[in-house]
Amino acid sequence: MRANMPQHWVFDDEFDGGEETCGRVIINLHTYVREMPPGTHIVLISEDPAAPVEFPAWCRMTRNALLDMAHPYYLVELKPHLVPEGSLGDN
């Protein structure tokens, strides 16, 4: 766990984009999460100063849910609209 990450966040995995630009982080992130099931909570980490604008936009475009953000950390739920009814909280 990172020192500055909000302690109350609960997540299944994390993806650290480091100092790459958001465009490169998003491309790599897509490959990383594509096999993860809907409802997975993941923390995205990006030092890019554009991340506070780029990651919320990416979430809107991909229908992932941005649950919270505290730059450089972004808590995302993958494809919540695809989670089968009655299985919330199983992750």
Predicted local distance difference test score (pLDDT) of residue 19? 84
10 is written with which tokens?
Answer: 């609960």
In a domain, 8, yes or no: no
Predicted local distance difference test score (pLDDT) of residue 86? 74
SS (HEC) of 9-58: CCCCEEEECCCCCHHHHHHHHHHHHCCCCCCCEEEEECCCCCHHHHHHHH
In a domain, 5, yes or no: no
In a domain, 87, yes or no: no
Domain count along the chain? 1
Q: What is the pLDDT of residues 47-89, one digit of tens each?
A: 999 999 999 999 999 999 999 999 999 999 999 999 988 765 5
Mean pLDDT of all residues belonging to the chain: 91
Residues, the chain, total?
Answer: 91
Residue 38 to residue 59: CA distance in whole angstroms: 13
In a domain, 71, yes or no: yes
User: In terms of residue numbers, what domain contains 53?
Assistant: 13-82
Element (H, E) at 60: helix 51-62
Predicted local distance difference test score (pLDDT) of residue 1? 46
Predicted local distance difference test score (pLDDT) of residue 88? 56
In a domain, 7, yes or no: no
